[in-house]
Amino acid sequence: MNHDASHGVYGDAGHDPRHMDGATDPDGFDEHVAGLPYGVMAPEVFPRVTEPAAPTSLQAPQAPPTPPAPTVPTPPAAPTAPVAPSAPRAPEAAVPFAEPEAEALRGVPAHVGNRPPSYPPHPLGRPSVRDSDLFAPFSPVVLLDGAQIGRLTVRAASVRGDSHNWEGSCRQDAMAVTRIGPPEAELLLLAVADGVGSALYSHVGSYQFSRLTAVYLDREAEDIHAALCARDGEELRVLATKAVAGAAAELRSGWARAAQHQPRPYADQDYATTLHVLLIPVDARIRDRVLFSVGDGGLFVLREGRWEQGDPEGGEDLLDTRTEALPHAYRSVKATVLRTVPGEVLLLSTDGVTNPLTQKDPEFARRLADAWGGPEVPSMSDFLWQAQTRAKSYDDDRTVICVWEEQG
């Protein structure tokens, strides 16, 4: 993510994170930190060989007659040769298992526009253990995930952006796909987080916030489920803020302790990240979903071949170079309740996808709609290839999670 600095927000362009100010004012929140818990292949087909016909004269041999005077015995008549088997026929059943057509083989990711982006479409360098923290060198370039829960099918991918591939820096996006709550109030949880580009440890912030927030939301799952059934948006916002605040307090505490052994003091902006969490009831009778958001990125719904903004308030600042970010903005959680029907596709994404999805040139949006709006859910490998569709000038990390619901 690339964002400019502002009060309560974090910047990118021209800003060297190694010369940032010290710890920010915790806004009084840290006073109660200590009191919070820490916490196919086709089968082989063989030609059919016709069974040889039984020899006409191969019967049980009769007893030979008593030989006459010893003369050269007449050799017995040669038995009739068995009927030769017919030549094997071409294996008709082999046709369905023919090799895939050439166009089904995936090459470099497709691109929109007349020319591909300037950056190469593949990873180049990567961080070294010697010159970075111990998280970045082991962060994979690509993450791929999925699930089938009841009538819901999930595909998820997080891919390092072209600019990070070129620089050899780590992927700053993160995602999570899991389930929370008891069986009677179970929710599918999908989360995407985008570390702010200028923040020194934003890749750590996005990874840990996407997971620890899920843990804290699980503690509130029954109340969230009840509020969602009641369509109580304010109660949902309060519950989400409580969970995000709990995660922020625990992470801040841990990061501050770790910074005591480092030359650089702890600062919120070093771990700055956005966060979007979508909760979907597993019970198909409940048609409402809720999105919790801090920062840019967001939710889209594919209806009748067109992408619609799932969180209308989030669409206003999609191209703003400033954004709110955690952990500082833990009080700024937005809650959006929306209703969907089977057959619609939900897309939760960081701005690496939402930005090109909303541009005047509709080609990028049309390609994803064609790929993900068909009658069949794409395979895991197809989804990854489609998610990497490139657009010139959009070189940020991209993380996207799609949900399909079977029509019953």
Dist. CA 331–CA 29, nearest whole Å: 10
**CA–CA separation, 235 vs 335, rounded Å?**
9
pLDDT of the residue at 109: 79
Phi/psi of residue 179, nearest 5 degrees: -125, 145
Residues near 388 by beta carbon (within 8 Å), at least 6 away in sequence: 109, 121, 157, 159, 398
Whether 31 maps to a domain, the answer reads: no
Containing structural domain, residue 245: 111-311+322-405
Residue 68: per-residue pLDDT: 54
Question: Given this model, what pLDDT does residue 390 score?
Answer: 84
Domain contains 119: yes
Per-residue DSSP letter, 20: -
SS3 content of the chain, % helix, strand, coil (to 5): 30, 20, 50
Average pLDDT over the chain reads 80
In a domain, 304, yes or no: yes
Give residue 86's pLDDT.
52
| Rg of the chain over all Cα atoms, to the nearest angstrom | 32
Decide if 253 is inside a domain.
Answer: yes
Q: For residue 56, is it within any domain?
A: no
Q: Which phi and psi angles does 93 have, rounded to 5°?
A: -70, -10
Query: E strands, 332-396, where?
Result: 334-339, 345-349, 390-391
Whether 213 and 179 have beta carbons less than 8 Å apart is answered as: no
Residue 235 parent element (H or E):
helix 233-259
User: Under a CB-based contact definition with an 8 Å cutoff, are residues 364 and 389 in contact?
Assistant: yes
Within 8 A by CB and 6+ apart from 179, the residues are: 149, 186, 187, 188, 189, 282
Measured between alpha carbons, how far is residue 155 from residues 287, 289, 323, 344, 399 in Å? 20, 18, 27, 14, 11
Residues 6+ apart with CB under 8 A from 113: 361, 363, 391, 392
CATH number at residue 170: 3.60.40.10
Structural element, H or E, at residue 405: strand 398-405
Does residue 316 lie within any of the structural domains? no
In a domain, 13, yes or no: no
Q: Are 17 and 198 in contact (CB under 8 A)?
A: yes
Tell me what pLDDT residue 111 has.
Answer: 78
Measure the CA–CA gap between 62 and 45, rounded to whole angstroms.
44
| pLDDT at res. 320 | 46
User: What are the b/e assignments for 86-97, b being 16+ CB within 10 Å?
Assistant: eeeeeeeeeeee
Splitting the chain (408 residues) into consecutive groups of 10 residues, what average pLDDT does each group show?
47 42 44 44 38 45 53 51 50 38 66 74 86 89 97 97 88 98 98 95 97 99 98 97 98 96 93 98 97 95 94 50 85 96 97 90 93 95 94 88 92
How high is the pLDDT of residue 277? Answer: 98
Tell me, yes or no, whether 21 lies in a domain.
no
Q: Could you give the CA distance from residue 222 to residue 165 in angstroms, rounded to a whole number?
A: 42
Q: How far apart are CA 266 and CA 21, in angstroms?
A: 10
**C-beta atoms surrounding 49 within 10 Å:** 11
The 3-class secondary structure across 106-158, one letter per residue, is: CCCCCEECCCCCCCCCCCCCCCCHHHCCCCHHHCCCEEEEEEEECCEEEEEEE
Q: How many folded domains does the chain comprise?
A: 1
Please state the three-class secondary structure of 190-220 as a single string.
EEEEEECCCCCCHHHHHHHHHHHHHHHHHHC
- Supply the pLDDT for residue 317: 42
